[in-house]
Structures are given as structure tokens and as C-alpha cells.
A and B are shown apart, each in its own frame.
Chain A
Amino acid sequence: MLLSTKNILSTKELTKQDIQQILDTADSFKEISTRAIKKVPTLRGKTIINLFFEPSTRTRTSFEIAGKRMSADVINISGSTSSSVKGENLIDTARNLEAMNPDILVVRHHCSGAPALLSQFIDSPIINAGDGSHEHPSQALLDLLTIRSHKGDLAGLKVVIVGDISHSRVARSNIRAMQTMGMKVRVVGPPPLIPPDFESLGVEVSHNLREAVRDVDVVMVLRIQMERQNQGLLSSLREYSNYFCLTSESLAKARDDVLIIHPGPVNRGVEISLDVMESPRSLILNQVTSGVSIRMALFYLLLGENNANPN
């Protein structure tokens, strides 16, 4: 069965069947990463280009490893090495890359909508690896995979997302994907970091962390960007932490089996305390492992299913 979409631009475009299929496929690929020889020939002869206009370690490496474990050739191009510094337009850059016949473009860009723009000019499938404050679909999928592997079923689960909701592509991708899977989402943070219209997305809005974690199955903590302070959106990181840092104290009313996730990179002690981060209910490193499987699944479903066998 193929996905309903040619590109992975946002989780909004994914159906429940798509998401289920991606998660099931990722599950079946998990084992590959535990082998002594972590490589299958599935995507041999395929070329994947990671086109990153924004710094990234985790996501770029994860896509690269995923491609390589499936025997694809993976090329990394970063904003600073690309022609964009010479003033080349995004579309021209992508068209030039396309002229070299890649099979997939993985794009990260600081502007919301940049991958959607490219998809109008590029025939190869595009995976959005994070665009501005818009979406980061593979992150949401790996979060769901992580949650599902601990909870079994996603439907009916309650999640609270904590932090800078306004600027978070992770939050937007997760909200849409989680709602599609029948989960309930609440967001919590200071009002300047939650857009006034956010309830229109069908989420509950709270400004009280201690209360907001009370009945949830999962707490997702977002990274707080230091520059928000200069933009006048935060008084200080110190005060932010007083109200919104996830600590054992702020988790006092949470359920014992609550899961803690964070897309990384973590500001230790700012949005999450060290002890919570390292407690058994924290799945932060499991997420990173899930990330490789999810990206293998995306490559496979966009490219390989017709001409290869995962084993």
C-alpha cells in the first residue's frame, strides 16, 4: 500500500492509515539498527539529498544514518556551503540539484512553507525536515512511535505540550498527527508564547504547568530559545523556569506512569530538570532511536516499496 501523498510536507496531509503504516513500517525496521551489520540493500542505487538551510545535528544525522542503513547514497548540503550564500534563489538551487537526478530531497529551511514552495517546482519527493514555525513531520512521527511503543495504543491518550508553542514546528506537527490518531492535546506556557488563536486548532490552552500535567499520559517539553528573551516574549529564563520548568515538583500531581519526551536539544535546568530528564519515565533517547526507524520508513514508503524487500 502506498502513502496518500507523494511528499511529506506536513502531518496535516497524512491520513490515519498513512500514519499507521509509517509507524508499522518503522517498527519492522527497528531491528536492522540492532544488527552487527546495520545495512540492508533496499535502497541501493538511490540518491538522497539532505538540503539543510538551518543548523541541525540530530535531524540531519538521523536522516543520513537512515539512508545509509538502507544502502542509499546520502549527500549533505548545508546552507553555508550551498549557493544560497552567493545569492542563488531557493528554487534555482533545488532545480540544479534535481538536474542531478536525486530520488528524494530532505529539506530544512528557516522559512515556513519553503518545502511546499519547492514541491511546486521539483518532481522528486520532498521530506520537510522542519520549516520555520510551521511543521516538522518526521519529528511528530518519531514521537508517536516512541509513545506507541510504550503505551500500545495511541487512541484516547492525553498529551500536554509545554513551552514555546508559538514558534514550535514540533508542536504544530504533533498536534495535527495526534488529533488524527484520536489523542487529546493540551498546550501550556506563558501567554506571549501561545498564539491567541491557538484554540482554533482544537487544543486546550493552559498557563499552569502543575495543573496541566495532572491527568495526562505524556508530557512533551519543548526547547526554549534563548533569543525569546531579547524579543520581549519572556521576562527572564529564570522566571520562565520558575513557572514552566518540568521538575519532580511540577510533576507532583502527574500520574506515576507519565511519559516525558523532548525533541532536543535540551537546555538542562531551563525547561526540564536534570533528574526528570534522567528518570526512567524520560524517553528522550528512545526518541532519537525511533527517529532513525521513522526516517527509514519514510524513505522506504516514498521510494523502495516497489522494487525491494526490507530484509
Chain B
Amino acid sequence: MQTLIKNGWVIDPANMIDGSFDILISDGKIEAVVPHGKISASKIKGAEVINAKGCVVAPGFCDMHVHFREPGHEYKETIETGSASAAAGGFSSVAVMPNTSPVNDNRSVTELILSQAKKTGLVNIYPIGAITKGLKGETLSDMGELKESGCIGYSDDGKPVMDSELMRRALEYSRMFDLPCIQHSEILDLTRGGCMNEGVVSTELGLKGMPVEAEDIMVFRDICLLRKTGGRLHVAHISSGGAVDLVRQAKAKGLPVTCEVAPHHFTLTEEACRNYDTNAKMSPPLRTNEDIDMIKEGIRDGTIDIIATDHAPHDLADKQVEFDNACFGIVGLETALPLTLKLVDEKVITLQKAVDLLTHQPCRIFNLDKGTLGIGKDADVVIFNPNTKFTIEPEKFKSRSKNSPYKGWQVRGKVLHTLVAGRSVYSDQNE
């Protein structure tokens, strides 16, 4: 079984490829990446041909921060619907956060997730295990067992590890397994009851704010701990310009810290909360234009390592309520590419760098043998047209939930095909 992707512009940052190449896939693996038209006809006899003219061909995107809600909250998303959403967004690999019910803090839950993923058979699912049992912030989870059963990192995401002593031990203990601890950086004492960024808009709306200092202090604390413990710290969904500065300084000192940003934190500000739009309610909250400027600078200079969506599906019952009572979060998988390409439009980064942030870099941080079109690797491929304009219509999302603040946005950058191990898991033509 062979597939030939021809006439496309291949961007494969892992192998420093950026040009007009044809890609031959055999039995789910990359067999050849050669300059356009150079594959001998005999070699590709009978191969299925995908014409990628005018399109970018890249390694399938890798989102290291999604919530698929299974087990426990299948009415919001399942591994199957989440996988379909990922495939439609061009993602071939995703890492699922452990705040399910029950929490993924032990082998049995990890194995359930992996078996559901296998049954679904769409995209590669990598579980992230809890840092603390039950996400309670009291005792460390069995990090060794979690790694052995398939987890690729540790996080209490949704909640921070507030106890500094416990965070210290988590960073220390995780060293044994060489997996990163992913922190949702938020000092809860400062954000209690808060539901949006503290600032002009929260003041006008009469909503309790979450000051940006809550994020900065936690990032700083963790960096201080990291200096002592070693281990690997990955700062999830950075939203504060001040926190970007802290990570930059820590990196300059050679500390093993990495961080990610979600597209909503460089495309929207607290202004989106006006009219009490609960689709603009997220944690960390949408901040200000100054934060966005500093985040873009962090993306530009490499302080911010990767883009991750924090895909957080919630159904209407959890969103069509008072702003105070609405759940935090938005779905992100099916809008990530066009929002990331805005950075290219604005000349913050090149198209090549944008692909890098969604493929090679996340796999480097999480030690995944993915995000590459290297010969012999699994043929996880995305084909997208960076110039196709379209209107975002959440009601058409593959995700079970439609909670997106981007409804009606005119964007460009459309996914046409997503392949996982050579098999088509999404094709625009079937829509």
C-alpha cells in the first residue's frame, strides 16, 4: 500500500526541509522525500496519488495540551470525537490531560485511555499522568507506573500544585523518569472567585478579576525550585507577558524550562469578555494587548517553545449560564492552524517556524518520535493550503462541543488532508 503526495511544498523543520518535494509513503512509513518529479515511475506504480499543488505538506501537528473528557465527562467530548476534531485541525498526535473522572493518576486509567484511543484509531493519543493523586495536591502519584503504562509527562492541569514542598518533590522525583512536570501556573489565593483577567474590563463588568501576578508568582516560584531540584519544568498555556520574561531569564541561565502558548492568548484580549460572553472565559484568562505583544516577542525569540491549544470542550449547559458560573475553557483544535498563521501574516514568525512550533518542537520536549517526515518514520502528515480563506463555524466542528469565541472570524489556512501512519483520517473532500 503506497501513497504519493506530489506537487506540494514540504516543510519539515526536524529535517530542515523546505521546498518542492514529493513524498512517498509505503506501509504507513515515510519511504522517500525527494525533489519534485524525481521519483521513478516504476517505484510508484499503483500508488494512490494526492495532488498537493499549492499546499504545504508537513508532519502532522502535535498538540501537547488537550482535554478529551473521557472517562467521566463524555457529554463534552470523547476520545473518539476529540480525535476527529484533532484530525480535522491537522493534528496527528495529541497529549490528553489527566483531569478526567476518575483522574488519570494510575495505570488503569492510562490503559483505558490508550485502549479507547486504539479502538478509535484516528490520531496518536499520549496520556499525561497526574502529578498528585486525584489532583488533590496532597501526595505524589506513582510517576514510575504512569510512565511505564504510557504517560509522557505529569500535570495537575486545571489546578496548580500549590504546595511548594510537594512541587519541589515532584520535580525531584520526575527526574528519575526524565519526563516534564507541566504546571498550570496560578496562585489560587490571588484568584479565588475570579473569572477573568483583573483590569479595566473586569472593573467595568463588576466581575471578580484574576490578577496577572497570580501567574507570574507561580512561574517564578517554580523556576526557583527548578534551580534547586533539576528535573524539567514545562509551563502550560503562558498568558502573562511578565511570565514570558521570567522564562526568558531562566533559559538564559540554562535552566531546563520550556513553555507553551495557546492561540487564544495571542489573538484575543480581556475585551472579548464584554457582553459577558462565556466563550471568552478561560483559565488563565485572556489578558491585555501588552501581554500579547510580549508573548509575540517570546514566540519570535524562542522563549516560547511550542503552541498548544488547551482544547477544553464544554457543552451549552456549562457555558450558557451566568459568567460567574460558566466553566473555563474553549475548544481549540479546529482553529489552531489559522490562528497560528496570523503570526505569519503579522510577520512575527515565518511559515516554517509556525510549522516547527506545531511539530518538531513539541516532540523534542516530550521525547516523541513524531513531528518529522524522516525516512522510516510513521507517515503522520498534514496537507494544508495556507491561503484558503474561510469563516469559522463552530457548529460544524467535529468536536462534540462548540464553545469557541471565534465564531464568524474570517481566517485563512485550511487543512485538506490529515494522515496518520499513512492512513487518511481527515479529508476536506469528504466534508
Contacts and interface: CB of A to CB of B under 8 A. Distances in A.
Contact of A197 (B199, B208, B323): B199
B216 to A, nearest CB: 16
Interface of A: 89-91, 109, 111-114, 116-117, 131-135, 169, 172, 195-198, 200-201
20 contacts: A90-B322, A111-B322, A111-B324, A113-B206, A113-B323, A116-B276, A117-B321, A133-B207, A133-B208, A134-B205, A134-B207, A195-B198, A195-B203, A197-B199, A197-B200, A197-B202, A198-B203, A200-B204, A201-B203, A201-B204
A113 B276 CA distance: 6
B285 to A, nearest CB: 15
Contacts of A132: 206-207, 324
B317 A89 contact: yes
- Say whether chain A's binding surface is mostly helix, strand, loop, or mixed: mixed
Contacts of B429: none
B203 A112 contact: no
Nearest to A232: B189
Contacts of B203: 195, 197-198, 200-201
B139 interface: no
B275 interface: yes
B199 A116 contact: no
B115 interface: no
B206 A114 contact: no
**Which of B203, B207, B275 counts the most A-chain CB atoms under 10 A from its CB?**
B203
A114 B207 contact: no
Contact of A131 (B200, B206, B275): B206
B249 interface: no
B51 interface: no
B388 interface: no
B320 interface: yes
The 9 closest A-B CB pairs, nearest first, are: A134-B206, A113-B276, A133-B206, A111-B322, A112-B206, A111-B324, A195-B203, A200-B200, A197-B203
B206 A169 contact: yes
Contact of B276 (A91, A117, A169): A117
Interface residues of B, number: 20
Contacts of A114: 322
B321 A112 contact: no
B322 A113 contact: yes
A90 B321 contact: yes
Contacts of B322: 90, 109, 111, 113-114, 117
A116 B276 CA distance: 8
Nearest to A195: B203
A91 B320 contact: yes
Contacts of B207: 112-113, 132-134
A134 B324 CA distance: 12
Contacts of A198: 203
Contacts of B204: 172, 200-201
B198 to A, nearest CB: 8
**Which of B198, B206, B275, B323 counts the most A-chain CB atoms under 10 A from its CB?**
B206
A132 B203 CA distance: 12
Nearest to B189: A232
A116 B323 CA distance: 10
Given A134-B206, A169-B206, A111 B317 contact: no
B315 to A, nearest CB: 12
A37 to B, nearest CB: 41
Contacts of B387: none
A4 B405 CA distance: 28
A89 B321 contact: yes
Contacts of A116: 275-276
A133 B321 CA distance: 17
B325 interface: yes
Contacts of B206: 112-113, 131-135, 169, 172
Interface in B276-329: 276, 317, 320-325
B323 to A, nearest CB: 5
A87 B424 CA distance: 45
A113 B199 contact: no
Contacts of A112: 205-207, 276, 323-324
Contacts of B209: 195
A135 B325 CA distance: 18
A11 to B, nearest CB: 12
A21 to B, nearest CB: 25
Contacts of A197: 198-200, 202-203
Contacts of B320: 89, 91
A79 to B, nearest CB: 13
Interface string B263-279: 00000000000011000
Contacts of B202: 195, 197
A195 B208 CA distance: 10
A114 B323 CA distance: 8
